[in-house]
Structure 1
Amino acid sequence: MGLVINKTYFTKKDSIVRQIWGKADTILFIFAGTAAEFALNKAVDWLYYTGRLPKDPLGRLFSTVNYAKVIVFAEEKAAFQAIDQMNKIHAKIEKNRGFKIPEWAYRDVLFMLIDYSIRAFEALERKLTLKEKEEVLSVFLKVGHGMKIGGLPKDFEGWKQQRKIQLQENFEYSEFTKDLFLQYKKHLGVARYRLLLEAQILMAPKRVKELLNFREHSVLITVIPLYRLSGSFKIDYILKELILPKDYKNDIKALDH
């Protein structure tokens, strides 16, 4: 008989995080939410520093989301190697620029992924239980500890309090925000850009809506039940064809796990 090796994965096989990050639909909504927050973050100048974000904002955001997805589904050793690689990339950028990325900026991105993982799943599927939300938090805190980010919360209630403070203190509408939304429009085209905005209105916390002057409710609230139905009849891929630029269709296909 051959030797059976039990693999240890970064997230448990029955984890709600795998359900959230295993479907392109959910990840697209996470993508939409993060696109708004990246633009508002006071540390967005770090993303402009290399020039890659304004040149290819969709590709840059896809790479961030893809990194998170790879880590979620990887074996534990491979996941920590990916996190270590991320640390090296950031260290190189810091060395080239001559000073460090503020620790709160790392926390902001981590908290953003936690928040939109929950918001996207709840918008498209169902409400999560507190235990499931704590599972989402636990997985991303594991990423945060691997990145050696300090000041992380101990539990979900602590995260909610920190997230509330973070949204008040670390976000503003700036020239970078204005430029980045112009880049989104340029790369998506007018119709797809409107869809992005509607997804952001649906997903955004109150503070983000205020800063971006968004209305309270998205028209997608009436469309989502039809989208769920389209999935039941396996025609949701047609909608994705309409929604996404051709250049990113392969990226989207790769998101379904």
Structure 2
Amino acid sequence: MKLFVKKDSIVREIWGKSDTVLFIFAGASGEFALNKAVDWLYFTGKLPSDPLGRLFSTVEYAKYIVFSPVEEANASIDMLRKIHGAVEQNRGAVIPDWAYRDVLFMLIHYSIASYELLERKLTYEEKEEVYNVFYRVGTRMGLVELPSTYTEWLPVRESHLKENLKQSKYTFDLFKQYKKNLGWFRYEVLVESQKLVVPKRVKKLLYLNDFSLLAIVIPIYKFSRNMKMGKFLKNLLLPSEYKTQIKKLDIQPG
């Protein structure tokens, strides 16, 4: 049985830890609020009404693909494209190809940035491996103009950040929904987390400074994680109704 991502892959290590996945969400939640195509998720109503629920459904989908055999992973990717196709049909318009690429690019960037924040610097070969996994996801979805290597992707990513991000009414409404769903304290943790992983362009548009209080907390958290206190701290920071989903993120199938 051939796996979509080999068992010793750094991608499995990244997506097998809820700590890393939560930072992937934190960064993506900020950047996506700036995306020019964010109105598509407002069309369905799912994102603004339940941003955390949307997070976990997206994360679980991505994680399932990472830990599945090739056939099952491809079937999931095909279903994902089918779901988006239905939304396009209902709206009578087509989601721009660059918007699909933007989401894919976010998964690549935040997978690398989050792991390096919480664990260690990745080698060039490991970054290439991360890129290759999501490149295969994008190719299966039928996306075009995807760079073939991580090195070729870097300038394209920068170009997307410049061309496809802007502040809009959706940006401010989404952050309002984040705060409503998370509560003041957890919302502040989200914003402080974003400061540590988002690109400079995103920081500028969201008016985020370079200093994050979590830069002080993370070394302590790493120590506490080694002392088996990580679960306690994680539960403290997350709404109780999502603790089951968070626990599942630590499970590494296969």
Shift, 1:217, TM fit: 2.2
Whichever residue aligns with residue 43 of structure 1, its letter is: A
1:50 aligns with 2:44: yes
User: Which of the residues 86, 92, 99 maps onto 2:93?
Assistant: 99
Equivalenced residues, count = 251
Q: What is the distance in 1 between the residues matched to 2:78 and 2:68?
A: 14
Q: Specify the alignment match of 2:178 in structure 1.
A: 184
Provide Cα deviations, 1:10-59, integer angstroms capped at 9, x if missing partner: 00110000000000000000010111011110000001001111100111
Q: Specify the alignment match of 2:67 in structure 1.
A: 73
Shift, 1:61, TM fit: 1.9
Secondary structure, aligned partner of 2:48: helix
Whichever residue aligns with residue 72 of structure 1, its letter is: V
**Identity rate of aligned residues, in percent?**
58
1:38 aligns with 2:32: yes
Q: Specify the alignment match of 2:57 in structure 1.
A: 63
TM-score scaled by length of structure 1: 0.97
Provide Cα deviations, 1:213-238, integer angstroms capped at 9, x if missing partner: 00012111111111111111111000
Shift, 1:181, TM fit: 0.1
Provide Cα deviations, 1:132-165, integer angstroms capped at 9, x if missing partner: 0000000000100110000100111111010000
Q: Specify the alignment match of 1:86 in structure 2.
A: 80
Does structure 2 conserve the Cα–Cα contact (< 8 Å) formed by 1:31 and 1:62?
no
1:10 aligns with 2:4: yes
1:164 aligns with 2:151: no
1:174 aligns with 2:143: no
Q: Specify the alignment match of 1:3 in structure 2.
A: none
Does structure 2 conserve the Cα–Cα contact (< 8 Å) formed by 1:118 and 1:128?
yes
Structure 2, unaligned stretches of length 5 or more? none
User: Which of the residues 200, 212, 236 maps onto 2:230?
Assistant: 236
1:127 aligns with 2:127: no
Structure 1, unaligned stretches of length 5 or more? 1-6
Q: What is the distance in 2 between the residues matched to 1:200 and 1:66?
A: 21
Q: What CA RMSD, in Å, does the superposition of the two structures yield over aligned residues? A: 0.6
TM-score scaled by length of structure 2: 0.98
Q: Specify the alignment match of 2:205 in structure 1.
A: 211
